[in-house]
């Protein structure tokens, strides 16, 4: 029996976030520069998107370029931006075929002009697609996101548009980049590292976390299915006891 056939399509995470880690180590193991790893990581993105569409996942968010990544060597940053532009051009047909709607979170205004132009074009061309919302986290940092949300809420209080007493989870959610997306149910990180790296800190408060030793360029559909099966074997309690969950399901 294949892994895919074991998946219960009635119990899927609505929103999966992935920290795509291990490109550099994958390349180093093969005697190449980190750039070679980034180029080969594009294939893993494609097969993961296709697998998500096939299963019926609603939203997939990929940690593509963090605010901290600007600190990497310039040649690597420039190459990453080039890969982004070229990948968007090549993958547009795949997005259209699979009904994938592209969007971004983060401060994309700091990206190179060519990257911004290509992003906006693909976002516009896929805006009516219905099957999967694919979100690229670009120049993204969760702490910066929370700071920006705090500033926006503070301005509304100063302008008497909002009262302090009205601030709750819904208000904060509505000021985050991800306000149009379902809550993150499941976070996957490849390469064996077990940390969050400033990614969706607010949004993953109750997400299930899954860490795999597979380096990102090697991540394939079977690895994705294995992750989903792992998710489905878990009991999501949200602070309740197992007994409470069991009684609520009766």
What is the number of residues in the chain? 250
CB 48 within 8 A of CB 18: yes
* Residue 69 is a catalytic residue: yes
Whole-angstrom distance, CA of residue 31 vs CA of residue 26: 9
Known catalytic residue at 21: yes
Instruction: Name the active-site residue from 8, 21, 71, 230.
Output: 21
Q: β-strand 100-105 against 59-66: which pairing, if any? A: unpaired
Buried b (16+ CB within 10 A) or exposed e, 228-241: beebbeeeeeeeee
The DSSP string of 139-180 is EE-HHHHHHHHHHHHHHHHHTTSS-GGG-SHHHHHHTSTTTT
The answer to whether 181 touches 204, Cβ cutoff 8 Å, is no
Q: How far apart are the first and last CA of the chain?
A: 31
Annotated active-site positions, please?
21, 69
């Amino acid at each position: 029996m294949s892994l895919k056939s074991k998946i219960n399509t009635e119990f899927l995470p609505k929103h999966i976030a992935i920290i795509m880690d291990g490109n550099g180590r994958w390349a180093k193991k093969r005697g190449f520069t980190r750039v070679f790893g980034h180029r080969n990581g594009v294939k893993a993105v494609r097969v993961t998107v296709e697998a998500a569409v096939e299963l019926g996942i609603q939203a997939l968010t990929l940690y593509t370029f963090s605010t901290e990544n600007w600190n990497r060597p310039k040649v690597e940053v420039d190459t990453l931006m080039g890969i982004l532009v070229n990948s968007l051009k090549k993958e547009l047909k795949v997005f259209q075929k699979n009904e994938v709607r592209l969007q971004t979170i983060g401060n994309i205004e700091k990206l190179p002009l060519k990257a911004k132009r290509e992003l906006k074009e693909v976002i516009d061309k896929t805006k009516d697609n219905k099957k999967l919302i694919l979100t690229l986290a670009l120049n993204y940092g969760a702490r910066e996101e929370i700071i920006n949300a705090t500033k926006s809420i503070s301005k509304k209080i100063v302008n008497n548009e909002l009262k302090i007493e009205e601030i709750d989870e819904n208000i904060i959610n509505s000021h985050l980049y991800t306000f149009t997306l379902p809550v993150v149910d499941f976070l996957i990180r490849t390469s064996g590292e077990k940390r969050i790296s400033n990614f969706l800190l607010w949004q993953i408060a109750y997400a299930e976390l899954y860490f795999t030793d597979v380096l990102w360029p090697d991540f394939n559909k079977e690895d994705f299915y294995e992750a989903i099966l792992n998710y489905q074997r878990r009991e999501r309690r949200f602070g309740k006891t197992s007994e409470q969950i069991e009684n609520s399901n009766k």
